[in-house]
């Protein structure tokens, strides 16, 4: 742009315009833009004819597409779409499959936010949800009726870490021509790939292990192209799209997923084994049959009755208290007051989520440091009779 051709205000806006064709970045650039530009009306029309990929970031963006494609590849799915959070990914997936007047059968031990979405919000869309224990699939089968179109559960449940029998759920769904949807957040595709077992849609809160560093909020749903096309349409219409920078951050995290999960799973195994012998712990919830790569990075414990829960959380030293999970730092959360706060008390009680249950998200620190800190907090809490 010529310096003498434009006045100050114009130059202030357009100073950065340049030909970047020769400047090829090693890292993916952040396409922090709300819209993309065209040379003329015919060029713009080419987007609607499927000849160009990008028009408006609510529709799609290179950074958010990268995340969706990356997770889809790792899950061995045909396609995917990124969303603004794990919850919006679940909603987009549900609305891609279920219409008003139809119903879902969902596991009764879901993440509290999902439970609330299903119980309180989906009925407003004309969708009915029945919550059933998936521990006995005969009970699930008994609840299937003409309106049922979808079975929904988690590959590893939150927070008590029950490992779902995905192959049996797929077989049951096939018997009645139902779709299946699995939240694979806790396992990640590093440990489990439900698509390989015949699941239709897989959803992730990419806020967790995919992002991995507690600095992004994002979701992804993956599956066959026909269903993902419907999910994408819902994301666009409902405004559930992910921002470019969040997509870029999550993609950066995805590159180290295997390295982080390997270390975190190893640490979690050590923590679970150590706490199993601790007199201050009544029960350790930690799966043993997830995959050859490991059994996950979450350890849930039920502290003994003589452990003062308030003191335990106050004496964790460097371990942070957080309402979420899956970062590289070890954190602890309290399901009763956070993730499952909105779940009806009778449901929590039936599942065993009580005042002594603590969820541990194991990080990449030295395992012994994590163990020592947890044991010290348990010991201090046991001695506190206040």
Per-residue model confidence (pLDDT) at position 14: 72
Residue 318 above 90 pLDDT? Answer: yes
**What's the CA gap between 35 and 351, in Å, rounded?**
47
CA distance readout (Å), 279 to 191, 252, 282, 312: 31, 41, 7, 15
**What's the CA gap between 263 and 297, in Å, rounded?**
9
pLDDT in tens, 236-294: 999 999 999 999 999 999 999 999 999 999 999 999 999 999 999 999 999 999 999 99
Structure tokens that stand for 38 in this block: 């065209």
pTM recorded for the entire structure: 0.93
Instruction: Pick left, alpha or beta for residue 188 (phi over 0 → left; psi -120 to 50 → alpha; otherwise beta).
Output: left
Identical topology for domains 41-254 and 258-383? no
**What's the CA gap between 108 and 149, in Å, rounded?**
17
Domain boundaries, the chain: 41-254, 258-383
Which DSSP letter does residue 9 get?
H
342 or 302: whose pLDDT is higher? 302
Which DSSP letter does residue 124 get?
G
**What's the CA gap between 256 and 266, in Å, rounded?**
16
pLDDT in tens, 73-99: 999 999 999 999 999 999 999 999 999
Residue 2 above 80 pLDDT? Answer: no
Structure tokens that stand for 50 in this block: 């499927």
Mean pLDDT of the 379-385 span: 78
Per-residue model confidence (pLDDT) at position 4: 60
Of the pLDDT bands very low, low, confident and very high (cuts 50, 70, 90), residue 343 is confident
Contacts of 1 (CB under 8 A, 6+ apart): 11, 14, 15, 17
Instruction: State the fold for domain 258-383.
Output: 3.90.1150
User: Considering only CA atoms, which of 311, 286, 314 is closest in space to residue 301?
Assistant: 286
Say how many C-beta atoms besides its own lie within 10 A of residue 135's C-beta.
Answer: 13
Residue 384 above 70 pLDDT? Answer: no
Contacts of 344 (CB under 8 A, 6+ apart): none
Q: Please give the CATH number for the structural domain made up of 41-254.
A: 3.40.640.10
Residues of the chain with pLDDT > 90, as a percent, come to 87
Instruction: Pick left, alpha or beta for residue 101 (phi over 0 → left; psi -120 to 50 → alpha; otherwise beta).
Output: left
- Give yes or no for a contact between 325 and 185, defined as CB atoms under 8 angstroms apart: no
Q: Are strands 148-154 and 103-107 parallel, antiparallel or unpaired?
A: parallel
Instruction: Please give the mean pLDDT across all residues of the chain.
Output: 93
Of the pLDDT bands very low, low, confident and very high (cuts 50, 70, 90), residue 20 is low
Q: What is the three-class DSSP state of 159? A: coil
Residue 15 above 80 pLDDT? Answer: no
């Amino acid at each position: 742009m010529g310096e003498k051709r434009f006045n100050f205000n114009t130059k202030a806006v357009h100073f950065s315009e340049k030909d970047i064709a020769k400047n090829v970045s090693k890292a993916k650039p952040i396409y922090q833009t709300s819209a993309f530009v065209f040379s003329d009306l015919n060029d713009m029309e080419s987007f609607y004819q499927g000849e160009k990929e990008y028009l408006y970031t609510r529709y799609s963006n290179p950074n958010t597409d990268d995340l969706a494609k990356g997770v889809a590849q790792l899950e061995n799915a045909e396609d995917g779409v990124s969303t603004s959070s794990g919850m919006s990914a679940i909603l987009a997936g549900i609305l891609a499959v279920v219409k008003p007047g139809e119903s879902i059968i969902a596991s009764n031990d879901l993440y509290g936010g999902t439970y609330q979405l299903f119980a309180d919000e989906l009925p407003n869309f004309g969708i009915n949800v029945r919550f059933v224990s998936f521990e006995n699939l005969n009970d699930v089968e008994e609840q299937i009726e003409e309106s049922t179109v979808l079975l929904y559960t988690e590959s590893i449940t939150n927070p008590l870490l029950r490992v779902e029998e995905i192959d049996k759920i797929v077989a049951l769904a096939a018997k009645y021509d139902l779709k299946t949807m699995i939240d694979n957040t806790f396992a990640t595709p590093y440990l489990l790939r439900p698509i390989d077992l015949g699941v239709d849609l897989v959803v992730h809160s990419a806020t967790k292990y995919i992002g991995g560093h507690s600095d992004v909020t994002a979701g992804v749903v993956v599956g066959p192209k026909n269903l993902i096309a419907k999910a994408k349409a819902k994301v666009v219409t409902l405004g559930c799209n992910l921002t470019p920078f969040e997509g870029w951050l999550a993609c950066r995290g995805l590159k180290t997923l295997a390295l982080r999960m390997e270390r975190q799973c190893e640490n979690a195994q050590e923590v679970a084994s150590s706490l199993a012998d601790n007199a201050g712990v009544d029960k350790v919830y930690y799966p043993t049959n997830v995959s050859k790569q490991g059994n996950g990075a979450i350890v849930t414990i039920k502290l003994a009755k003589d452990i003062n829960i308030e003191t335990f959380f106050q004496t964790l030293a460097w371990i942070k208290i957080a309402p979420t999970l899956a970062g590289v730092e070890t954190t602890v959360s309290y399901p009763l007051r956070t993730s499952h706060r909105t779940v009806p008390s009778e449901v929590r009680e039936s599942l065993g989520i009580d005042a002594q249950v603590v969820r541990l998200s194991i990080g990449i620190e030295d395992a012994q440091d994590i163990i020592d800190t947890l044991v010290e907090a348990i010991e201090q809490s046991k001695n506190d009779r206040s």
